[in-house]
Protein backbone atom coordinates (compact mmCIF):
# COMPACT_ATOMS: atom_id res chain seq x y z
CA UNK A 1 0.00 0.00 0.00
CA UNK A 2 1.40 3.41 -1.00
CA UNK A 3 1.89 6.01 1.71
CA UNK A 4 -0.56 8.89 2.03
CA UNK A 5 0.67 12.38 2.85
CA UNK A 6 -1.80 14.65 4.65
CA UNK A 7 -1.88 18.35 3.91
CA UNK A 8 -1.70 19.41 7.55
CA UNK A 9 0.81 21.85 8.98
CA UNK A 10 -0.16 22.27 12.66
CA UNK A 11 0.70 25.41 14.59
CA UNK A 12 3.04 25.19 17.57
CA UNK A 13 0.06 25.11 19.96
CA UNK A 14 -1.73 22.45 17.89
CA UNK A 15 1.44 20.32 18.04
CA UNK A 16 1.38 20.56 21.84
CA UNK A 17 -2.28 19.51 21.76
CA UNK A 18 -1.59 16.43 19.62
CA UNK A 19 1.57 15.38 21.49
CA UNK A 20 0.30 15.76 25.07
CA UNK A 21 0.00 12.67 27.27
CA UNK A 22 -2.43 14.30 29.72
CA UNK A 23 -5.72 12.54 30.48
CA UNK A 24 -7.80 15.69 29.89
CA UNK A 25 -6.94 18.75 27.83
CA UNK A 26 -8.64 22.07 27.21
CA UNK A 27 -7.31 23.77 24.10
CA UNK A 28 -7.86 27.34 22.98
CA UNK A 29 -9.41 30.27 24.73
CA UNK A 30 -9.49 32.82 21.91
CA UNK A 31 -11.34 32.96 18.62
CA UNK A 32 -9.40 31.83 15.57
CA UNK A 33 -6.99 29.55 17.42
CA UNK A 34 -7.72 26.55 15.17
CA UNK A 35 -9.64 24.63 17.85
CA UNK A 36 -12.21 22.71 15.79
CA UNK A 37 -9.61 21.95 13.14
CA UNK A 38 -7.24 20.52 15.77
CA UNK A 39 -10.02 18.34 17.24
CA UNK A 40 -10.88 16.79 13.87
CA UNK A 41 -7.25 16.12 12.99
CA UNK A 42 -6.55 14.62 16.41
CA UNK A 43 -9.56 12.30 16.22
CA UNK A 44 -8.80 11.14 12.67
CA UNK A 45 -5.12 10.51 13.43
CA UNK A 46 -5.89 8.49 16.55
CA UNK A 47 -8.55 6.45 14.75
CA UNK A 48 -6.17 5.69 11.86
CA UNK A 49 -3.23 4.90 14.14
CA UNK A 50 -5.18 2.50 16.39
CA UNK A 51 -7.44 0.07 14.49
CA UNK A 52 -10.84 -0.74 15.93
CA UNK A 53 -11.04 2.27 18.23
CA UNK A 54 -13.96 4.61 18.70
CA UNK A 55 -13.96 8.41 18.85
CA UNK A 56 -16.95 10.51 19.92
CA UNK A 57 -17.07 14.17 18.94
CA UNK A 58 -19.65 16.29 20.80
CA UNK A 59 -21.32 19.63 20.08
CA UNK A 60 -24.39 20.91 21.86
CA UNK A 61 -26.71 20.63 18.82
CA UNK A 62 -26.69 18.66 15.59
CA UNK A 63 -26.77 21.76 13.31
CA UNK A 64 -23.56 22.89 15.05
CA UNK A 65 -22.02 19.49 14.33
CA UNK A 66 -22.91 19.77 10.65
CA UNK A 67 -21.51 23.27 10.30
CA UNK A 68 -18.21 22.56 12.07
CA UNK A 69 -16.92 19.10 12.97
CA UNK A 70 -18.66 17.01 10.32
CA UNK A 71 -17.83 19.49 7.57
CA UNK A 72 -14.18 19.65 8.65
CA UNK A 73 -13.77 15.89 9.07
CA UNK A 74 -15.20 15.18 5.61
CA UNK A 75 -12.82 17.75 4.17
CA UNK A 76 -9.60 16.43 5.74
CA UNK A 77 -10.13 12.64 5.51
CA UNK A 78 -9.82 11.21 1.97
CA UNK A 79 -12.47 8.67 0.95
CA UNK A 80 -9.74 6.06 0.55
CA UNK A 81 -9.29 6.14 4.33
CA UNK A 82 -12.73 6.92 5.67
CA UNK A 83 -16.32 7.22 4.50
CA UNK A 84 -18.98 9.37 6.13
CA UNK A 85 -22.47 7.89 6.63
CA UNK A 86 -25.04 10.63 7.17
CA UNK A 87 -27.77 8.23 8.29
CA UNK A 88 -25.99 7.43 11.56
CA UNK A 89 -23.66 10.47 11.71
CA UNK A 90 -20.38 8.60 11.74
CA UNK A 91 -17.22 8.22 9.74
CA UNK A 92 -16.01 4.66 9.28
CA UNK A 93 -12.30 4.23 8.69
CA UNK A 94 -10.76 1.46 6.59
CA UNK A 95 -9.05 -0.08 9.64
CA UNK A 96 -12.30 -0.62 11.53
CA UNK A 97 -12.13 2.53 13.65
CA UNK A 98 -15.09 4.90 13.75
CA UNK A 99 -15.66 8.57 14.59
CA UNK A 100 -19.18 9.30 15.83
CA UNK A 101 -20.64 12.79 15.84
CA UNK A 102 -22.89 13.28 18.86
CA UNK A 103 -24.88 16.04 20.51
CA UNK A 104 -26.37 16.79 23.95
CA UNK A 105 -29.22 19.27 23.63
CA UNK A 106 -30.28 18.83 27.28
CA UNK A 107 -29.36 16.88 30.40
CA UNK A 108 -31.56 13.87 29.60
CA UNK A 109 -29.69 13.24 26.34
CA UNK A 110 -26.77 11.67 28.22
CA UNK A 111 -28.82 8.48 28.65
CA UNK A 112 -28.50 7.85 24.91
CA UNK A 113 -24.81 7.14 25.45
CA UNK A 114 -24.96 4.95 28.56
CA UNK A 115 -23.91 1.89 26.53
CA UNK A 116 -21.14 3.64 24.63
CA UNK A 117 -17.52 2.53 24.77
CA UNK A 118 -15.34 5.52 24.02
CA UNK A 119 -11.58 5.55 23.62
CA UNK A 120 -11.18 9.08 22.24
CA UNK A 121 -13.60 11.67 23.64
CA UNK A 122 -13.87 15.19 22.20
CA UNK A 123 -15.96 18.21 23.26
CA UNK A 124 -15.99 21.26 21.01
CA UNK A 125 -17.06 24.50 22.74
CA UNK A 126 -16.96 22.83 26.15
CA UNK A 127 -18.53 25.83 27.92
CA UNK A 128 -21.82 25.06 26.12
CA UNK A 129 -22.12 21.88 28.23
CA UNK A 130 -22.92 21.42 31.91
CA UNK A 131 -20.39 19.81 34.22
CA UNK A 132 -22.80 16.93 34.87
CA UNK A 133 -22.98 16.22 31.10
CA UNK A 134 -19.20 16.21 30.90
CA UNK A 135 -18.75 13.97 33.92
CA UNK A 136 -21.38 11.46 32.77
CA UNK A 137 -19.99 11.07 29.25
CA UNK A 138 -16.49 10.79 30.70
CA UNK A 139 -17.63 7.65 32.57
CA UNK A 140 -18.08 5.98 29.15
CA UNK A 141 -14.30 6.07 28.61
CA UNK A 142 -13.04 2.51 28.46
CA UNK A 143 -10.67 0.42 26.39
CA UNK A 144 -10.42 -3.39 26.20
CA UNK A 145 -6.85 -4.60 26.72
CA UNK A 146 -6.75 -5.96 23.16
CA UNK A 147 -6.80 -2.39 21.80
CA UNK A 148 -3.64 -1.43 23.69
CA UNK A 149 -4.64 2.21 24.16
CA UNK A 150 -5.21 4.60 27.05
CA UNK A 151 -8.47 6.55 26.62
CA UNK A 152 -8.30 10.34 26.83
CA UNK A 153 -10.42 13.48 26.68
CA UNK A 154 -9.67 16.39 24.38
CA UNK A 155 -11.72 19.62 24.57
CA UNK A 156 -11.72 23.05 22.99
CA UNK A 157 -13.57 26.22 23.91
CA UNK A 158 -13.76 29.99 23.94
CA UNK A 159 -14.62 31.80 27.18
CA UNK A 160 -18.33 32.40 27.78
CA UNK A 161 -21.41 30.19 27.71
CA UNK A 162 -23.40 28.68 30.58
CA UNK A 163 -20.57 26.33 31.51
CA UNK A 164 -17.92 29.07 31.68
CA UNK A 165 -17.62 28.84 35.46
CA UNK A 166 -16.93 25.13 35.85
CA UNK A 167 -14.65 24.95 32.80
CA UNK A 168 -12.60 27.87 34.07
CA UNK A 169 -12.40 26.32 37.54
CA UNK A 170 -11.43 22.86 36.25
CA UNK A 171 -8.90 23.73 33.57
CA UNK A 172 -7.80 27.36 33.92
CA UNK A 173 -7.85 28.42 37.58
CA UNK A 174 -6.46 25.13 38.88
CA UNK A 175 -3.48 24.89 36.51
CA UNK A 176 0.04 26.09 37.05
CA UNK A 177 0.90 29.11 35.00
CA UNK A 178 4.14 27.61 33.77
CA UNK A 179 3.15 24.06 32.97
CA UNK A 180 -0.63 24.46 32.67
CA UNK A 181 -1.13 21.07 34.28
CA UNK A 182 -2.74 19.85 37.47
CA UNK A 183 -3.34 16.40 38.92
CA UNK A 184 -6.90 15.80 40.09
CA UNK A 185 -7.92 12.98 42.40
CA UNK A 186 -11.19 11.27 41.57
CA UNK A 187 -12.79 8.68 43.86
CA UNK A 188 -14.42 5.78 42.01
CA UNK A 189 -16.06 2.53 43.08
CA UNK A 190 -14.57 -0.54 41.43
CA UNK A 191 -16.38 -3.71 40.36
CA UNK A 192 -15.49 -5.25 43.70
CA UNK A 193 -17.34 -2.45 45.51
CA UNK A 194 -14.14 -0.99 46.89
CA UNK A 195 -13.49 2.73 46.60
CA UNK A 196 -10.36 3.72 44.71
CA UNK A 197 -8.63 7.02 44.09
CA UNK A 198 -7.69 7.64 40.48
CA UNK A 199 -5.29 10.36 39.43
CA UNK A 200 -6.08 12.35 36.32
CA UNK A 201 -3.74 14.88 34.74
CA UNK A 202 -5.59 17.92 33.37
CA UNK A 203 -3.91 20.40 31.05
CA UNK A 204 -4.79 23.77 29.60
CA UNK A 205 -3.15 24.80 26.34
CA UNK A 206 -3.97 28.46 25.70
CA UNK A 207 -3.97 29.53 22.07
CA UNK A 208 -4.70 33.00 20.76
CA UNK A 209 -5.46 34.22 17.29
CA UNK A 210 -1.80 35.29 17.07
CA UNK A 211 -0.72 31.64 17.41
CA UNK A 212 -2.46 30.78 14.13
CA UNK A 213 -0.46 31.94 11.06
CA UNK A 214 -3.30 30.87 8.75
CA UNK A 215 -5.74 33.52 10.03
CA UNK A 216 -6.53 36.40 7.72
CA UNK A 217 -5.13 39.75 8.88
CA UNK A 218 -8.47 41.45 8.26
CA UNK A 219 -10.11 39.05 10.77
CA UNK A 220 -7.50 39.96 13.38
CA UNK A 221 -7.97 43.65 12.68
CA UNK A 222 -11.73 43.27 13.15
CA UNK A 223 -11.23 41.63 16.56
CA UNK A 224 -8.81 44.37 17.59
CA UNK A 225 -11.57 46.95 17.10
CA UNK A 226 -13.96 45.32 19.58
CA UNK A 227 -14.71 46.87 23.00
CA UNK A 228 -11.96 46.18 25.55
CA UNK A 229 -13.43 43.24 27.46
CA UNK A 230 -14.83 41.55 24.34
CA UNK A 231 -11.48 42.09 22.62
CA UNK A 232 -9.63 40.51 25.56
CA UNK A 233 -11.86 37.44 25.37
CA UNK A 234 -11.94 36.88 21.61
CA UNK A 235 -8.43 38.05 20.77
CA UNK A 236 -6.44 37.00 23.83
CA UNK A 237 -8.65 34.28 25.30
CA UNK A 238 -8.90 35.92 28.73
CA UNK A 239 -11.34 34.02 30.94
CA UNK A 240 -12.26 36.98 33.13
CA UNK A 241 -13.97 38.77 30.24
CA UNK A 242 -16.09 37.24 27.53
CA UNK A 243 -18.87 37.92 25.05
CA UNK A 244 -22.28 37.79 26.68
CA UNK A 245 -20.96 38.41 30.21
CA UNK A 246 -23.87 39.63 32.32
CA UNK A 247 -21.94 41.80 34.80
CA UNK A 248 -18.78 43.03 33.08
CA UNK A 249 -18.66 45.97 35.49
CA UNK A 250 -17.81 43.73 38.44
CA UNK A 251 -14.24 44.60 39.42
CA UNK A 252 -11.88 42.69 41.66
CA UNK A 253 -8.74 44.76 42.11
CA UNK A 254 -6.48 43.58 44.99
CA UNK A 255 -4.47 46.81 44.80
CA UNK A 256 -7.52 48.68 46.10
CA UNK A 257 -8.78 46.22 48.73
CA UNK A 258 -7.77 48.67 51.44
CA UNK A 259 -9.12 51.95 50.04
CA UNK A 260 -12.15 50.49 48.21
CA UNK A 261 -11.70 52.69 45.13
CA UNK A 262 -12.84 51.29 41.76
CA UNK A 263 -13.17 47.77 43.17
CA UNK A 264 -16.11 45.79 44.51
CA UNK A 265 -13.94 43.45 46.55
CA UNK A 266 -12.36 44.81 49.74
CA UNK A 267 -10.49 43.67 52.82
CA UNK A 268 -12.71 42.49 55.71
CA UNK A 269 -13.23 44.74 58.70
CA UNK A 270 -15.21 44.62 61.95
CA UNK A 271 -18.83 45.49 61.17
CA UNK A 272 -20.21 48.15 63.55
CA UNK A 273 -22.90 46.70 65.79
CA UNK A 274 -25.43 49.38 64.89
CA UNK A 275 -25.43 48.55 61.16
CA UNK A 276 -28.51 46.69 59.92
CA UNK A 277 -27.95 42.98 59.19
CA UNK A 278 -29.60 40.66 56.67
CA UNK A 279 -29.31 37.07 55.50
CA UNK A 280 -30.39 36.16 51.98
CA UNK A 281 -31.16 32.55 51.04
CA UNK A 282 -31.53 30.51 47.86
CA UNK A 283 -32.45 26.89 48.49
CA UNK A 284 -30.87 23.98 46.63
CA UNK A 285 -30.60 20.21 46.91
CA UNK A 286 -28.92 18.70 43.84
CA UNK A 287 -27.76 22.24 43.05
CA UNK A 288 -26.00 24.41 45.69
CA UNK A 289 -27.86 26.30 48.37
CA UNK A 290 -26.57 29.75 49.23
CA UNK A 291 -26.71 32.11 52.23
CA UNK A 292 -25.28 35.60 52.11
CA UNK A 293 -24.75 37.74 55.22
CA UNK A 294 -25.14 41.47 54.57
CA UNK A 295 -24.56 44.62 56.58
CA UNK A 296 -25.91 48.02 55.53
CA UNK A 297 -24.22 51.22 56.65
CA UNK A 298 -26.06 54.50 57.46
CA UNK A 299 -25.61 55.64 53.82
CA UNK A 300 -27.43 52.56 52.51
CA UNK A 301 -24.27 50.92 51.17
CA UNK A 302 -24.38 47.10 51.37
CA UNK A 303 -21.49 44.87 52.45
CA UNK A 304 -21.48 41.11 51.92
CA UNK A 305 -19.31 40.11 54.83
CA UNK A 306 -19.62 36.31 54.80
CA UNK A 307 -21.35 33.49 52.95
CA UNK A 308 -22.38 29.87 53.36
CA UNK A 309 -22.38 28.03 50.05
CA UNK A 310 -23.54 24.42 49.85
CA UNK A 311 -21.48 23.28 46.88
CA UNK A 312 -19.68 19.97 46.52
CA UNK A 313 -15.96 20.55 46.86
CA UNK A 314 -14.17 20.57 43.53
CA UNK A 315 -17.39 20.37 41.47
CA UNK A 316 -18.94 23.62 40.37
CA UNK A 317 -22.73 23.85 40.55
CA UNK A 318 -23.19 20.52 42.33
CA UNK A 319 -25.17 20.58 45.57
CA UNK A 320 -24.60 18.73 48.84
CA UNK A 321 -28.05 17.07 48.77
CA UNK A 322 -28.84 18.10 52.33
CA UNK A 323 -32.33 18.10 53.80
CA UNK A 324 -33.83 21.45 54.91
CA UNK A 325 -33.23 20.39 58.51
CA UNK A 326 -29.55 19.71 57.84
CA UNK A 327 -29.24 23.06 56.07
CA UNK A 328 -30.89 24.76 59.05
CA UNK A 329 -28.33 23.20 61.42
CA UNK A 330 -25.48 24.58 59.29
CA UNK A 331 -27.18 27.98 59.25
CA UNK A 332 -27.42 28.00 63.06
CA UNK A 333 -23.70 27.25 63.46
CA UNK A 334 -22.80 29.84 60.83
CA UNK A 335 -24.75 32.64 62.51
CA UNK A 336 -23.76 31.75 66.06
CA UNK A 337 -21.23 34.63 66.37
CA UNK A 338 -23.93 37.20 65.50
CA UNK A 339 -26.42 35.79 67.97
CA UNK A 340 -23.76 35.61 70.68
CA UNK A 341 -23.44 39.39 70.30
CA UNK A 342 -27.20 39.87 70.33
CA UNK A 343 -27.40 41.06 66.71
CA UNK A 344 -30.83 40.97 65.08
CA UNK A 345 -30.87 39.57 61.55
CA UNK A 346 -33.65 39.85 58.98
CA UNK A 347 -33.98 36.92 56.58
CA UNK A 348 -35.00 37.19 52.91
CA UNK A 349 -35.48 34.08 50.84
CA UNK A 350 -36.66 32.62 47.57
CA UNK A 351 -40.50 32.57 47.67
CA UNK A 352 -40.37 28.96 46.45
CA UNK A 353 -39.40 27.72 49.94
CA UNK A 354 -42.97 28.42 51.10
CA UNK A 355 -44.40 26.03 48.49
CA UNK A 356 -46.59 23.35 50.14
CA UNK A 357 -47.68 21.52 47.00
CA UNK A 358 -45.42 18.57 47.84
CA UNK A 359 -46.05 18.54 51.58
CA UNK A 360 -44.39 20.50 54.36
CA UNK A 361 -42.66 23.55 52.95
CA UNK A 362 -38.89 24.01 53.09
CA UNK A 363 -39.42 27.15 55.18
CA UNK A 364 -41.36 25.24 57.85
CA UNK A 365 -38.77 22.45 57.95
CA UNK A 366 -36.01 25.00 58.48
CA UNK A 367 -37.99 26.86 61.14
CA UNK A 368 -38.52 23.66 63.15
CA UNK A 369 -34.74 23.25 63.49
CA UNK A 370 -33.64 26.88 63.64
CA UNK A 371 -35.87 29.83 64.43
CA UNK A 372 -33.19 32.43 65.10
CA UNK A 373 -33.94 34.13 61.77
CA UNK A 374 -37.43 34.83 60.50
CA UNK A 375 -37.42 34.71 56.72
CA UNK A 376 -39.73 36.78 54.59
CA UNK A 377 -40.51 36.23 50.93
CA UNK A 378 -38.08 37.86 48.57
CA UNK A 379 -39.16 39.69 45.44
CA UNK A 380 -38.41 37.30 42.56
CA UNK A 381 -39.17 39.63 39.67
CA UNK A 382 -36.14 38.93 37.57
CA UNK A 383 -35.45 42.02 35.50
CA UNK A 384 -35.89 44.60 38.30
CA UNK A 385 -33.68 42.37 40.47
CA UNK A 386 -30.98 42.27 37.81
CA UNK A 387 -31.13 46.04 37.41
CA UNK A 388 -30.63 46.42 41.16
CA UNK A 389 -27.39 44.44 40.87
CA UNK A 390 -26.23 46.75 38.06
CA UNK A 391 -27.23 49.81 40.08
CA UNK A 392 -25.31 48.62 43.15
CA UNK A 393 -22.21 47.82 41.07
CA UNK A 394 -22.13 51.28 39.49
CA UNK A 395 -19.21 53.42 40.66
CA UNK A 396 -19.96 56.99 41.70
CA UNK A 397 -17.78 59.96 40.77
CA UNK A 398 -15.43 59.10 43.64
CA UNK A 399 -15.01 55.49 42.45
CA UNK A 400 -17.18 53.91 45.14
CA UNK A 401 -20.05 51.45 44.49
CA UNK A 402 -23.14 50.87 46.61
CA UNK A 403 -22.18 47.23 47.20
CA UNK A 404 -18.93 45.82 48.51
CA UNK A 405 -17.87 42.19 48.85
CA UNK A 406 -15.39 41.00 51.49
CA UNK A 407 -12.46 39.18 49.90
CA UNK A 408 -13.34 36.14 52.03
CA UNK A 409 -16.57 35.65 50.03
CA UNK A 410 -14.75 33.57 47.45
CA UNK A 411 -17.78 31.90 45.87
CA UNK A 412 -19.45 35.24 45.13
CA UNK A 413 -16.20 36.44 43.58
CA UNK A 414 -15.92 33.22 41.57
CA UNK A 415 -19.48 32.89 40.25
CA UNK A 416 -20.77 36.41 39.57
CA UNK A 417 -18.23 37.19 36.79
CA UNK A 418 -19.06 33.89 35.04
CA UNK A 419 -22.78 34.59 34.59
CA UNK A 420 -23.89 35.17 31.02
CA UNK A 421 -27.04 36.14 29.16
CA UNK A 422 -29.67 33.63 28.07
CA UNK A 423 -29.67 33.02 24.30
CA UNK A 424 -33.47 33.09 24.19
CA UNK A 425 -34.19 35.71 26.88
CA UNK A 426 -31.48 38.10 25.89
CA UNK A 427 -31.94 40.49 28.81
CA UNK A 428 -31.98 37.77 31.49
CA UNK A 429 -29.38 35.53 33.07
CA UNK A 430 -28.83 32.04 31.69
CA UNK A 431 -30.13 29.86 34.53
CA UNK A 432 -28.03 26.92 33.33
CA UNK A 433 -25.06 28.71 34.88
CA UNK A 434 -24.09 28.80 38.56
CA UNK A 435 -26.59 31.51 39.51
CA UNK A 436 -27.52 30.64 43.11
CA UNK A 437 -25.47 33.37 44.78
CA UNK A 438 -26.77 35.85 42.22
CA UNK A 439 -30.36 34.83 43.03
CA UNK A 440 -30.08 35.33 46.78
CA UNK A 441 -28.20 38.58 46.18
CA UNK A 442 -31.01 40.04 44.10
CA UNK A 443 -33.62 38.92 46.71
CA UNK A 444 -31.71 40.97 49.25
CA UNK A 445 -31.22 43.97 46.98
CA UNK A 446 -34.90 44.03 46.04
CA UNK A 447 -35.71 44.37 49.75
CA UNK A 448 -33.73 47.65 49.75
CA UNK A 449 -34.03 48.91 46.18
CA UNK A 450 -32.04 51.87 44.97
CA UNK A 451 -33.67 54.37 42.68
CA UNK A 452 -31.84 54.42 39.35
CA UNK A 453 -29.57 57.41 38.92
CA UNK A 454 -30.76 59.84 36.32
CA UNK A 455 -27.90 61.08 34.21
CA UNK A 456 -28.72 64.56 32.97
CA UNK A 457 -28.27 64.86 29.23
CA UNK A 458 -25.48 67.09 28.07
CA UNK A 459 -26.72 70.35 26.59
CA UNK A 460 -26.86 70.19 22.83
CA UNK A 461 -24.29 72.30 21.09
CA UNK A 462 -25.71 74.81 18.69
CA UNK A 463 -25.00 73.79 15.15
CA UNK A 464 -22.31 75.91 13.55
CA UNK A 465 -23.66 78.27 10.98
CA UNK A 466 -21.02 79.99 8.80
CA UNK A 467 -23.47 82.84 8.15
CA UNK A 468 -23.78 83.76 11.86
Contact 314, 200 (CB under 8 A): no
Q: Are strands 90-93 and 82-85 parallel, antiparallel or unpaired?
A: antiparallel
Tell me, what's the pLDDT at 177?
Answer: 45
Tell me, what's the pLDDT at 194?
Answer: 66
Secondary structure tally for the chain: helices H, strands E: 14, 16
Where are the domain boundaries for CATH 3.40.50.300 in the chain? 12-236
SS3 content of the chain, % helix, strand, coil (to 5): 35, 25, 45
Tell me, what's the pLDDT at 316?
Answer: 80
- Taking the C-alpha atoms of residue 56 and residue 139, their distance in angstroms, rounded to an integer, is 13
CATH superfamily of 12-236: P-loop containing nucleotide triphosphate hydrolases (3.40.50.300)
Tell me, what's the pLDDT at 178?
Answer: 43
Contact 98, 77 (CB under 8 A): no
- Taking the C-alpha atoms of residue 319 and residue 109, their distance in angstroms, rounded to an integer, is 21
Tell me, what's the pLDDT at 38?
Answer: 92
- The CATH number of 254-447 is which of 1.10.10.60, 3.20.130.10, 3.30.420.280, 2.60.40.420? 3.30.420.280
Tell me, what's the pLDDT at 398?
Answer: 96
Contacts of 116 (CB under 8 A, 6+ apart): 54, 56, 140
User: What are the pLDDT tens digits along the chain (468 aa)?
Assistant: 456 667 788 888 899 999 999 999 999 876 666 888 899 999 999 999 999 999 999 999 999 999 999 999 999 999 999 999 999 999 999 999 999 999 999 889 999 999 999 999 999 999 999 988 999 999 999 999 999 999 999 999 988 888 888 898 888 876 554 455 666 666 555 556 666 666 778 899 988 777 777 677 777 777 777 776 667 766 777 787 777 889 989 999 999 999 999 999 999 999 999 999 999 999 999 999 999 999 999 999 999 999 999 998 877 888 999 999 999 999 999 999 999 999 999 999 999 999 999 899 999 999 999 999 999 999 999 999 999 999 999 999 999 999 999 999 999 999 999 898 987 887 899 898 899 999 999 999 999 999 876 655 556 665 556 555
Does the model's pTM come out above 0.85? no
- Which strands make up the sheet holding 181-189, listed edge to edge? 82-85, 90-93, 98-103, 54-59, 120-124, 152-157, 24-29, 195-207, 181-189
Q: Are strands 289-296 and 276-282 parallel, antiparallel or unpaired?
A: antiparallel
Instruction: List phi, psi (to 5°) of 354.
Output: -90, 0
Contact 304, 404 (CB under 8 A): yes
Where are the domain boundaries for CATH 3.30.420.280 in the chain? 254-447
Amino acid sequence: MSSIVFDYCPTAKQRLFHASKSNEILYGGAAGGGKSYAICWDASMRCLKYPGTSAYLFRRTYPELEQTLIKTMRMIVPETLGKYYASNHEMQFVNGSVARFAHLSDESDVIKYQGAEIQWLYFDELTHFSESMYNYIKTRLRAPKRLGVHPCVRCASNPGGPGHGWVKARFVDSTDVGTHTVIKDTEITGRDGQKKTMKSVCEYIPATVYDNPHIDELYIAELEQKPEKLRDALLLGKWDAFEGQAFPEFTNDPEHYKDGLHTHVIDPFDIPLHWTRYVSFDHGFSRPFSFGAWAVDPDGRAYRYKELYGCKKGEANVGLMLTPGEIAAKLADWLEPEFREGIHITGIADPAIWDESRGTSVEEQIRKVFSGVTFRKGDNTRMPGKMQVHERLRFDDDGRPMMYIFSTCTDFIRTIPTLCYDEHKVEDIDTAGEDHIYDETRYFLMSRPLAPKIVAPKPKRKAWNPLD
